[in-house]
Amino acid sequence: MEELRRLRHLIIDMDGVLWRGKRPMEGLTDFFAFLRRHEIRFVLATNNASRSRMDYVEQLARFGVTVRPEEVLPSCDATAFYLQQIAPAGARVLVVGEQALRAALSEAGFQVVDEENVDFVVVGLDWGLTYAKLARAARAIWNGARFIGTNPDPVWPGEDGLYPGNGATLAFLERATGVSPIVVGKPEPLMFQIAMQRMGAVPETTAVIGDQLPTDILGGKRAGLRTILMLSGATTPSMLAESPVQPDMVFADIRALTAAWEAALTAPDPKECPQRLR
């Protein structure tokens, strides 16, 4: 209860936490109403680079939840931000990924081209992935392009089960080229740093909520934050039991978290209660 009571900022994953596939989790609107009511600030930070922040704003609106664009941080935006820190404006980039990633990089001032003579190869989840795309990316890396991955997620949760994630694509290219990617998304620190800057947060009052142990939970721990695992997505109880990475708190879903948090905030503070006489 004490850990929940002191939280004022959240970095929240979406797929597997707020919805699964196209289905919202039960208690979704109640969860956000709780956060707004108690003035708990949040950033929705997802490793999915295939959708823009406005895609998520619109999806949540269809589910009855209103969020602002600045409260959403997909890894396509984080990747564009990272490249702006290390690359000159106008650098040439080959993208394996969806339109959201291509648009984020273009808006950040980079030339997005489908050629092998490039400065960077940026790889995100690609629904139209083909061997030809992988071969072109591999040749660009062989030619000296720097290899960037939006995220290392091995799987992602769909309505009917798990699917291979972007980490599988990165592993293919790494095995082919012998070059390890620079990964921007969770569990690397950049997304957590951007999210905390947006909220004006400090580690002592911030927690990460996610469904993946090797990304959300490990990344939160690396960033010195409290970690809350949801068992509504990619992690099963047996996976949790066998994992060396352990969260600070575990809940079945956001409905269970909301109920526990509400109880923590309404329960008497033991620090303010007189000591019982023995």
CATH number of the domain that residue 246 is part of: 3.40.50.1000
Place of tokens 């009052």: 205
As for how many domains the chain has, the answer is: 2
**What mean pLDDT is reported for the chain?**
93
Residues 173-220 have pLDDT tens digits of 999 999 999 999 999 988 999 999 999 999 999 999 999 999 999 999
Q: What is the pLDDT of residue 153?
A: 86
Same domain, 92 and 179: yes
Q: Are residues 95 and 149 in the same domain?
A: yes
Same domain, 149 and 177: yes
**Domain span at residue 13?**
2-47+187-266
pLDDT-derived band of residue 270, with 50, 70 and 90 as boundaries?
Answer: low
Residue 158 and residue 205 in one domain = no
What would the pLDDT profile of 81-95 be if each residue is shown by its tens digit?
999 999 998 999 999
Asked, for residue 75, whether it belongs to a domain, the answer is: no
- Residue 76 located in a structural domain: no
- Does residue 119 belong to any structural domain of this protein? yes
Of 167, 183, 199, the one marking the end of a domain is: 183
d(CA 95, CA 101): 8
Strand order in the sheet with 206-210: 72-74, 41-46, 9-12, 206-210, 226-230, 249-251
Helices (H), 87-210: 99-107, 131-142, 166-177, 189-199
Please indicate, yes or no, if residue 10 is contained in any of the structural domains: yes
Do 161 and 223 lie in a common domain? Answer: no
Owner of token pair 């990316």: 137
**Residue 79 located in a structural domain:** no
- Please report how the helices 131-142 and 166-177 are oriented relative to each other, as an axis angle in degrees rounded to 10: 50
Residue 237 lies in a domain: yes
Give the SS3 label for residue 186: coil
Q: Is 266 exposed, middle or buried (0-12, 13-18, 19+ CB in 10 A)?
A: exposed
Q: Is residue 71 part of a domain?
A: no
Last residue of a domain, one of 183, 206, 236: 183
Residues 202, 173 within the same domain: no
225 and 179 share one domain? no
**Which residues form the catalytic set?**
13, 15
pLDDT score at 276: 39
Query: Within this chain, do residues 99 and 13 fall inside the same structural domain, yes or no?
Result: no
Which has the higher per-residue pLDDT, 69 or 270?
69
Which residues does 61 contact at the CB level (< 8 Å), separation at least 6?
Answer: none
pLDDT of residue 36 exceeding 70: yes
Same-domain check for residues 191 and 261: yes
CA 202, CA 200: separation in Å to the nearest integer? Answer: 7
Look at residues 145, 162, 183 and tell me which one is the last residue of a structural domain.
183
Return the DSSP state at 180.
Answer: P
**Residue 169 shares a structural domain with residue 195:** no
How far apart, in whole angstroms, are the C-alpha atoms of residue 72 and residue 52? 9
